[in-house]
Amino acid sequence: MSSPSAAESFPAHTSAASQIFTTVLSQGPLTRSEVARRAGLSAAAVTKAVRPLIEAGYLVEDVDEDARPALGRPANLVRVDGGRALFIGVKVTGDKIIGVLTDLCCRILVARYVPLAARDPKAVLGSAAELVRELLIEADGLGVRVAGLGMAVSGDVDRAEGVVRYSPFLEWRDVPLAELAAMTTGLPVTVDNDVRALTVAEQWFGAGVGLSGFALVTVGAGIGCGLVVHGKVVAGAHGVAGEIGHVAVDPAGPRCHCGNRGCVEAIASDDAIVRQVRAATGVQVADAVEAAGLAHDGVAGAREVYARAGDAIGRGIATVANLLGPERVVISGEGLAAYDLFADHIRDAFATAAFGSAARCDVQTRPLPFDEWARGAAATAIQSFIRSDANQHLRGAALTQPA
């Protein structure tokens, strides 16, 4: 943090230093030589970056008791001191806000929920501020300062500017959320797209650890995708990236809210499935749970809707694989509850549409409940804290946070 109001500056002033810290955070404890190897940097660069981080208490170096050699100097392991700083992550859903307090290692210490009465920015900010206050009290009890707040929202989010450009789900346009939340909470705030935020957590601590290329596809109210290419989450030059939901797989398909036809989201999102199951069966199912219930009961029309949805998702994933060749694709989201209904179709469509050796990509599923999404938001706050090119907003902090 470079703001004069910030209690202290994180002592990693180059991208190499941030990268070294991130490697230890995600893959540690590690020996210094292993950090150098994995970060692709020289031993000298590691030594230079590690010293001030140890002095400031962000890293600690312990003797590796398991690997103590019979002769010679024991290998030391470098790890992050998780208790050195705390972070808050907030994920906004349609009917509630989930907040987590995490340590610097992004371990969840406390998780809280508040219901959401309305979806306008004022209501969401009010509820989020209430949740943050509760979590700050918890942090006070631990005697450790909260160094940042991450907020994850669905839609087109410009992290660099801290602005939610367009969230169809919340019906927001051009909301300067980072600035507003910084003023309300007094914390440095990072705002990001919710799937991208979850992807950061997965890359650091989940199914993407150590992978250079990786995709996280979320299936549920929307169809989202976080992409890691060359070891970094893709943000897009203008804030849009990973829009697998708007890969058009059928020009004769159903109309999508984006204006096109046959987008993956128009065929496979919860709403699309409910609509199509109603049309196919004549049963006025209330939601995706009821729609899946009909399909599980073996109602043919409902099963076909899921088959078509699986086909669309599989083709969307194949498009990602054909363009980027990731090592792994992880499918997650609330839609996993009905996964048995479309798993075969996803796999078949992927295998058919993947080009050449792109089909060798490892496609797997992994349940990630909403706490994990809030943790993803905390991960973006940690990312801003440790990165020299951080995209976070400090205006509010400059006004209100005690130095």
Residue ranges that bind its own copies, judged by CB under 8 A: 13-16, 40-42, 45, 156, 165-166, 212-213, 225, 227, 229-232, 234-244, 246-252, 258-260, 315, 319-327, 352-353, 355-358, 360-361, 389
> Which of 368, 377, 370 lies closest to 89 in space, CA to CA?
377
Q: Report phi then psi at 92, rounded to 5.
A: -100, 125
**What minimum distance in Å lies between the beta carbon of 81 and its own copies?**
25
Beta carbon nearer to its own copies, 163 or 294: 163
Beta carbon nearer to its own copies, 121 or 242: 242
Beta carbon nearer to its own copies, 73 or 230: 230
**What minimum distance in Å lies between the beta carbon of 283 and its own copies?**
28
**What minimum distance in Å lies between the beta carbon of 324 and its own copies?**
6
Q: What is the DSSP string of 319-350?
A: HHHHHH--SEEEEESGGGGGHHHHHHHHHHHH
Beta carbon nearer to its own copies, 123 or 323: 323
Q: Treating both helix axes as pointing N-terminal to C-terminal, what angle do 300-324 and 270-281 enclose, rounded to 10 degrees? A: 150
Distance of CA 226 to the CA centre of its chain: 7
Beta carbon nearer to its own copies, 36 or 85: 36
**What minimum distance in Å lies between the beta carbon of 199 and its own copies?**
13
CA atoms within 13 A on the CB side of 211: 25
CB contact at 8 A, 245 and 264 = yes
Residue holding tokens 């943790």?
A: 375
CB contact at 8 A, 60 and 66 = no
CB contact at 8 A, 273 and 285 = no
CB contact at 8 A, 274 and 288 = yes
Output the CA torsion sign for 258, 260, 266, 272: positive
**What minimum distance in Å lies between the beta carbon of 192 and its own copies?**
14
Give the 3-state secondary structure of residue 283.
Answer: coil
Beta carbon nearer to its own copies, 74 or 352: 352
Beta carbon nearer to its own copies, 80 or 235: 235
CA distance 38 to 396: 37
**What minimum distance in Å lies between the beta carbon of 232 and its own copies?**
5
**What minimum distance in Å lies between the beta carbon of 389 and its own copies?**
8
